[in-house]
Amino acid sequence: MTMLIVGIVLSFAVGALCRALDIPSPAPPSPIGASLVVAMTLGFVLAGMVHL
C-alpha cells in the first residue's frame, strides 16, 4: 500500500514539475492512450496483490 501512495505522489510531482517548467508531459496526448496507461498500472498493482 505504501508503494501505491508513493507512486501516486511521484506521478503528481512529475506532472506539476512538467507544468511548472513548461515542458511536455510524459503522458499520451489522447484519452485512449491515457486510459491504456491507467489500465496497465491498475493491472500491475492488482497482480502484485494476488498471492498465488
Whether 14 and 26 have beta carbons less than 8 Å apart is answered as yes
CA distance linking residue 8 with residue 44, whole number of Å: 14
Task: Inform me whether the pLDDT recorded for 52 exceeds 70.
Answer: no
Q: Which residue, chain included where needed, has cell 502484485?
A: 48
Q: Which tens digit of pLDDT belongs to each residue from 1-44? A: 788 888 888 888 887 887 888 888 767 778 888 888 888 888 88
- What pLDDT, on the 0 to 100 scale, is given for residue 51? 66
Q: Which of 46, 39, 40, 37 has the alpha carbon at shortest distance from 14?
A: 37
